[in-house]
Amino acid sequence: KIKHPYIAVMTTDLYHHFLIMRNVGTSLAVMRAQDGFLGKWKTHPDFRRKFGDDVGMSALNLVEDVNLCHNEIRLSNIAVHDDSFCLVGFEKSRGNVPSNAMKSRVLRRYPTGLASSERNMMYTIAQIGMVVFALDTGAQAAEVRDVFEYWLTEQQLKLRLPHSKHQKGPNSPKSRQRRSLANFDAWIKSKGGLIGTVFSETVSSAAMTRESKGYFVCILDAMLA
């Protein structure tokens, strides 16, 4: 099952198509700032499991059943209404991950020549992990962006340096990224070893094994436990 907000496509002429969508609620980027939301997220296992079903399983099923990778799983592309979640923003769904993610730390275990459902599922589960990290820890957008750039792009351990060569210390971009990565690493360790197989500095393509959807479902369960 793939849960999505779309109801139908309306065509007015050859060039104009309109998607008819149902109201699936408010984005997590907005909702997590509301009083009581993060408390509910952290203390209600059923709420987290619903996220796993509505978002995690939908995204993995999208890869398995339709051969598409959502590619933009983030707080602003997940809606919540009462106790129900829905993944939105399918505009960048493709048969493969973005080109700047192909050789990222999370995906370098996979050959880059052909589309791979395992690679697409790994990218999907890594993006979900960053959403869960933000909700579990209250990490702000800049911190999540630091983590994303480090693990899911080809960027090395450096950020855009300030114009002034003299800007150093705890508030410099590089120092902030190191703190962000340290916080993310602590979150990974708190979840157990299985998630560590996704965010690993040592896995190479030579050590890559064929992973089934069940493997990624186990990782999803572990991060939401």
Is residue 79 over pLDDT 70?
yes
Grade residue 175 by pLDDT with cuts at 50, 70 and 90: confident
**Cβ neighbours around 69 below 10 Å, total:** 28
> Cα–Cα distance between 209 and 133 in angstroms, integer?
26
Over residues 130-139, the mean pLDDT reads: 97
Please, what is the end-to-end C-alpha distance for the chain in angstroms? 22
Q: Sort 210 into a burial class: Cβ within 10 Å, 0-12 / 13-18 / 19+.
A: exposed
**Whole-number mean pLDDT of the chain?**
86
Is residue 18 over pLDDT 70?
no
Q: What percentage of the chain reaches a pLDDT higher than 90?
A: 66
Tens-digit pLDDT profile for residues 88-114: 999 999 999 999 999 899 998 888 776
Please report the sign of the dihedral spanned by the C-alpha atoms of residue 189, residue 190, residue 196, residue 201.
negative
- The SS3 of residue 139 is coil
- Res 90: pLDDT: 92
Q: Which amino acid is at 50?
A: K
- Res 115: pLDDT: 72
Tens-digit pLDDT profile for residues 155-171: 764 444 344 444 555 55
CA 221 to chain centre: 15
> Cα–Cα distance between 45 and 225 in angstroms, integer?
7
Q: Which residues contact 95 (CB under 8 A, 6 or more apart)?
A: 67, 68, 69, 115, 120
- Res 195: pLDDT: 93
Whole-model pTM? 0.86
Over residues 138-167, the mean pLDDT reads: 75
Is residue 150 over pLDDT 90?
yes
Q: Which amino acid is at 195?
A: I
> Cα–Cα distance between 224 and 216 in angstroms, integer?
12
Cα distances from 60 to residues 6, 94, 175, 210, in angstroms, run 18, 13, 35, 16
Nearest-10 Cα torsion for 93, 99, 104, 110: 80
> Cα–Cα distance between 166 and 158 in angstroms, integer?
16
Grade residue 51 by pLDDT with cuts at 50, 70 and 90: very high
Q: What percentage of the chain reaches a pLDDT higher than 70?
A: 81
For residue 18, the surrounding DSSP H or E stretch is strand 17-21
Opening angle at CA 225, ends 23 and 132, nearest 5: 50
